[in-house]
Amino acid sequence: MTPFRPHMQAALDEARAAARRGEVPVGAVLVGPDGQVLARAGNRTREGHDPTAHAEIRVIRDACATLGTERLPGCDLYVTLEPCAMCAAAIAAARIARLYYGADDPKSGGVRHGARVFAHPQAHHVPEVYDGIAAREAEDLLRDFFRGLRDN
Amino acid sequence: MTPFRPHMQAALDEARAAARRGEVPVGAVLVGPDGQVLARAGNRTREGHDPTAHAEIRVIRDACATLGTERLPGCDLYVTLEPCAMCAAAIAAARIARLYYGADDPKSGGVRHGARVFAHPQAHHVPEVYDGIAAREAEDLLRDFFRGLRDN
């Protein structure tokens, strides 16, 4: 097992918890430079009445509030799905060092798809990006969730 | 005076208030379908230890919390500066109908520059965009702020 697997498993746990709340199942974990988990969260846009409450935004806000900073250099973000343009730009603004994500998101992604936020000089910081981590589990969660919506 | 000027003046007031707090002077006002101001805010990334606390994100979150919704169809957003990619994607997610902004932001913008968030199919909603509104005042505020930082 590669060292990042436990953090992605925790992100998948957050995604499953989001699904149980009726939220799109995406989860994220933010890890400090020393390997300590700073924040973990799932999507909460519906329950929170907040279109910005994606898992990535929630862990960035939580970790920054805890540390009393607006930047998280040296930190790693694990998220089960390719971030959208909003989250990718927030990752750049927070100066997160490394982004590990699971499933690709051709429909709404903003890293490898669409706006490709990190590919422009207006992103003042570009993290290292590692994709495809536990992608199958993340995809299964999303597929089951949307199938359940259609069947209800 | 065109009808949208008072809302942009309120956004400029929020930008000036942000500057007094030591924040980058950007302000935003969110207006409901009936013309009522739903939320107004300036940048608060530093004081709030929150890299996502741009003026646009703050008014979207505030208005959604007030209305108990995650979408703001029919609403107008006034902001003194071209939104970055994070804010542009949040505007799309919130289904805001019209975006009025002041100064262009070639360095960090994500609407007319860089990621051009609304130009990709991954933005599932594209607002009408009107730029250059009270742009000179917004630019003057920003220039004075950064000049002050350099001189201190």
Helix (H, G, I), strand (E, B) or coil at B28: strand
Identify the CA nearest to B43 among candidates B93, B97, B67, B79. Answer: B79
pLDDT tens, residue order, chain A (152 aa)? 455 689 999 999 999 999 999 999 999 999 999 999 999 999 999 999 999 999 999 999 999 999 999 999 999 999 999 999 999 999 999 999 999 999 999 999 999 999 999 999 999 999 999 999 999 999 999 999 999 888 87
| CB contacts, 8 Å: A96 with chain B | none
Residue with tokens 């007094």: B20
Which residues, at least 6 apart from B75, have a Cβ–Cβ distance to it below 8 Å? Answer: B30, B31, B32, B33, B38, B63, B94, B96, B97, B98
Distance CA(A80)–CA(A98), nearest Å, equals: 14
Beta carbons of B50 and A64 less than 8 Å apart: yes
User: Is the Cα dihedral B48, B50, B51, B52 positive or negative?
Assistant: negative
| CB contacts, 8 Å: A67 with chain B | 49
Task: Write down the ipTM of this complex.
Answer: 0.96
The residue type found at B61 is R
Q: Is B136 exposed, middle or buried (0-12, 13-18, 19+ CB in 10 A)?
A: exposed
Beta carbons of B70 and A57 less than 8 Å apart: no
What pLDDT, on a 0 to 100 scale, did the predictor assign at position A151?
80
Residue of chain B nearest A105, judged by CA positions = B122
| CB contacts, 8 Å: B119 with chain A | 115
Distance CA(A34)–CA(A76), nearest Å, equals: 10
Distance CA(B146)–CA(B148), nearest Å, equals: 5
| CB contacts, 8 Å: B108 with chain A | 122, 124
The residue type found at A24 is V
Q: How far is A106 from chain B (nearest CA, A)?
A: 8
What pLDDT, on a 0 to 100 scale, did the predictor assign at position B1?
45
The residue type found at A42 is G
Contact between residue A64 and residue A70 where contact means Cβ atoms under 8 Å apart: yes
Helix B135-151 to helix B5-20 angle (10° resolution) is 10
For chains A and B, count residue pairs whose Cβ atoms are closer than 8 Å. 129
- The residue annotated as part of the active site, out of B56, B70, B137, B139, is B56
Identify the CA nearest to B52 among candidates A122, A79, A72, A41. Answer: A72
What pLDDT, on a 0 to 100 scale, did the predictor assign at position B85?
98
What pLDDT, on a 0 to 100 scale, did the predictor assign at position B94?
98
| A148 Rama sector, left if φ>0, alpha if ψ -120 to 50, beta otherwise | alpha
Pairing between strand B37-42 and B76-81?
unpaired
pLDDT-derived band at B3 (thresholds 50, 70, 90) equals: low
Q: How far is B3 from chain A (nearest CA, A)?
A: 28
Contact between residue A36 and residue A26 where contact means Cβ atoms under 8 Å apart: no
pLDDT in tens, B72-115: 999 999 999 999 999 999 999 999 999 999 999 999 999 999 99
Claim: this prediction has a pTM higher than 0.80 = yes
The residue type found at B109 is G
Beta carbons of B86 and A89 less than 8 Å apart: yes
A→B interface, C-beta within 8 Å: 45-46, 48-52, 57, 60-61, 64-65, 67-71, 84-90, 93-94, 107-110, 113-117, 119-124
User: Is the Cα dihedral A116, A64, A10, A100 positive or negative?
Assistant: positive
Does B56 participate in catalysis according to the annotation?
yes
Q: If you average pLDDT over residues B40-44, what whole number do you get?
A: 98
Please give the sequence-ordered ranges of beta strands (E in DSSP) within A9-97, or none if there are none: 27-31, 37-42, 76-81
What pLDDT, on a 0 to 100 scale, did the predictor assign at position B150?
81
- CA angle, A107 as apex, A105 and A86 as ends, to 5°? 75
Q: If you average pLDDT over residues B2-20, what whole number do you get?
A: 91
DSSP B117: G
pLDDT-derived band at B2 (thresholds 50, 70, 90) equals: low
Pairing between strand B76-81 and B98-103?
parallel
